């Protein structure tokens, strides 16, 4: 019924031995939840979180890939109801040809709806559309008692706001109703703007965010001096209408590349990254326009399957921070200086402006600027470095994203998430025995060590 497996998140750090179950039916899932087998349980969607949020070392992981059916669709209002294990890719492939798209999407389509809700994911449109929870009308939650509760802004509202972004700790999201957006093409009109430094990048976000549904910037984290924070902004809107004359929008399937083996972690070193950054920055013409397919705009990394293997056997840590508007310029400047001085450049570095905070008790975004970075785990020295980064983040009242984390200290986490006590209270009410617990929740002290 289960297999013992060494398993990691997308960053392959940490890797832990878990008891892995793949229930097929609701009755099996309920039985597993109600079964008093001395192990904690946590849901796992498609394992695209980077750290230990969907891990349960020495305990049980419930894989929800079999719960992936579409349940209903109201075409007039664009309301889709589907099971928690449904992949965003499946939703796009079925609904985009009919003129509907996800209201919010992360940078990969290989995530499940349940996993996306449990991290309350954000996309390139956060400044306008907020997090995914903004577009979830209601969800059905299988709780520790075996009861199935409908949660929405009106019904079990406290539990709704604890579940969105609640990293699986309130129960299992069996299904959700989500409002899709209507589009008339499968392409995005993109405007590329170059910023010679961080100050200019902030200016460009400020002046253009209201004009574009989507905005994101690639940032050169090795640039120094007057060029510190030089970036390329990629601002996009859905193209107004498709070239097709039929009622269906054409989706082109693209060839996927594969990284066949774990690459030596030395591949991504300061020299190769500096070379790449120079080439990449200069490959864009300031003010140029392009119309590109949705896949290339939203999911550039999905074109290389297993790209996580580029970081080597020991894995990597993705570090995503948000700084509030008042401190974000100073905080990011200090962080970029620290990065360029360190021998730890990040191969991928993404900058984005965020819109308003929502009521999710553990949701990550608030108004300000976010930066995402990747660091390979070559040796133990990465950990004190990240601790220093955390201290820097705290000094500027920033916060780290749990979907990416695997190293945060409980006290630092507590200081970053002021609604934690409220979350714990609701968790205790809905799961008094603390059945739902993960490696992350124990590491961060959200749940205790023993039942």
Give the interface with ligand FAD as residue ranges (CB under 6 A). Answer: 10, 42-49, 53-54, 64, 84, 106-108, 111-112, 114-116, 118-119, 121-123, 167-168, 172-173, 301, 403, 438
Report the distance separating Cα 326 and Cα 92, nearest Å: 37
Give, as one character, the DSSP assignment of residue 423.
H
Q: Among residues 167 and 193, whose Cβ is nearest to ligand FAD? A: 167
Count CB atoms within 10 A of the CB of residue 447: 23
Using alpha carbons, select from 140, 143, 118, 142 the residue that is nearest to residue 54. 118
* Residue whose CB is less far from ligand FAD, 108 or 231: 108
The answer to whether the CB of 398 falls within 8 A of the CB of 324 is yes
CB of 417 to ligand FAD, least distance (A): 15
At closest approach, how far in Å is the CB of 421 from ligand FAD?
20
Residue 84 or 345: the one with the smaller Cβ distance to ligand FAD is 84
Beta bridge partners of 20: 3, 61
Query: 62 or 221: whose CB is closer to ligand FAD?
Result: 62
Least Å distance, CB 43 to ligand FAD, is: 4
Cα dihedral value 181, 185, 186, 189, nearest 10? -100
CB of 115 to ligand FAD, least distance (A): 2
Q: Specify the residue, 301 or 330, whose C-beta has the smaller distance to ligand FAD.
A: 301
What is the smallest separation between the CB atom of 450 and ligand FAD, expressed in angstroms? 20
Least distance (Å) between residue 227 CB and ligand FAD: 26
Tracing tokens 């849901």 back to the chain, one arrives at 43
| Residue number with CB closer to ligand FAD (167 or 198) | 167
**Minimum Å distance from CB 241 to ligand FAD?**
27
In the complex with ligand FAD, the residue whose CB is nearer, 75 or 301, is 301
Q: Which positions ≥6 away from 147 have C-beta within 8 Å?
A: none
């Amino acid at each position: 019924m289960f297999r013992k497996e060494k398993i990691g998140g997308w960053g392959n750090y940490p890797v832990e031995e878990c008891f892995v179950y793949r229930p097929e039916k609701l009755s099996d899932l309920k039985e597993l939840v109600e079964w008093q087998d001395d192990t904690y349980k946590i849901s796992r969607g498609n394992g695209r979180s980077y750290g230990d949020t969907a891990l349960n070392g020495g305990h049980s992981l419930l894989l929800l890939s079999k719960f992936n059916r579409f349940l209903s669709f109201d075409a007039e209002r664009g309301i889709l109801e589907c099971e928690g294990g449904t992949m965003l890719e499946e939703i796009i492939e079925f609904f985009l040809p009919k003129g509907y798209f996800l209201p919010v999407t992360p940078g990969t389509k290989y995530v499940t709806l349940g996993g996306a809700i449990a991290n309350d994911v954000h996309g390139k449109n956060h400044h306008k559309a907020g997090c995914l929870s903004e577009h979830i009308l209601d969800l059905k939650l299988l709780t520790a008692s075996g009861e199935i509760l409908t949660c929405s802004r009106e019904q079990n509202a406290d539990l709704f706001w604890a579940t969105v972004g609640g990293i699986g700790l309130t129960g299992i999201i069996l299904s959700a109703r989500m409002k899709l957006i209507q589009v008339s093409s499968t392409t995005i009109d993109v405007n590329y703007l170059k910023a010679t430094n961080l100050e200019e990048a902030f200016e460009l976000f400020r002046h253009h965010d209201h004009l574009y549904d989507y905005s994101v910037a690639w940032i050169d984290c090795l640039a120094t001096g007057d060029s510190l924070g030089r970036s390329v902004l990629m601002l996009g809107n859905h193209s107004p209408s498709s070239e097709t004359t039929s009622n269906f929008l054409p989706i082109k399937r693209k060839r996927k590349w594969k990284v066949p083996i774990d690459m030596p972690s030395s591949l991504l070193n300061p020299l190769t990254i500096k070379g790449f950054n120079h080439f990449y920055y200069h490959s864009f013409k300031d003010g140029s326009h392009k119309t590109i397919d949705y896949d290339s705009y939203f999911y550039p990394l999905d074109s290389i399957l297993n790209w996580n293997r580029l970081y080597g056997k020991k894995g990597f840590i993705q570090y995503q921070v948000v700084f509030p508007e008042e401190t974000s310029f100073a905080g990011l400047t200090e962080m970029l200086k620290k990065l360029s001085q360190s021998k730890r450049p990040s191969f991928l570095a993404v900058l984005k402006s965020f819109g308003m905070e929502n009521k999710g008790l553990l949701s990550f975004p608030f108004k300000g600027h976010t930066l995402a970075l990747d660091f390979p785990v070559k040796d133990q020295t990465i950990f004190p470095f990240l601790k220093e980064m955390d201290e820097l983040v705290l000094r500027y009242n920033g916060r780290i994203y749990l979907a990416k984390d695997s190293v945060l200290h409980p006290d630092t986490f507590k200081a970053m998430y002021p609604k934690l006590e409220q979350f714990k209270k609701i968790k205790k009410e809905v799961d008094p025995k603390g059945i739902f617990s993960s490696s992350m929740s124990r590491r961060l002290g959200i749940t205790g060590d023993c039942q």
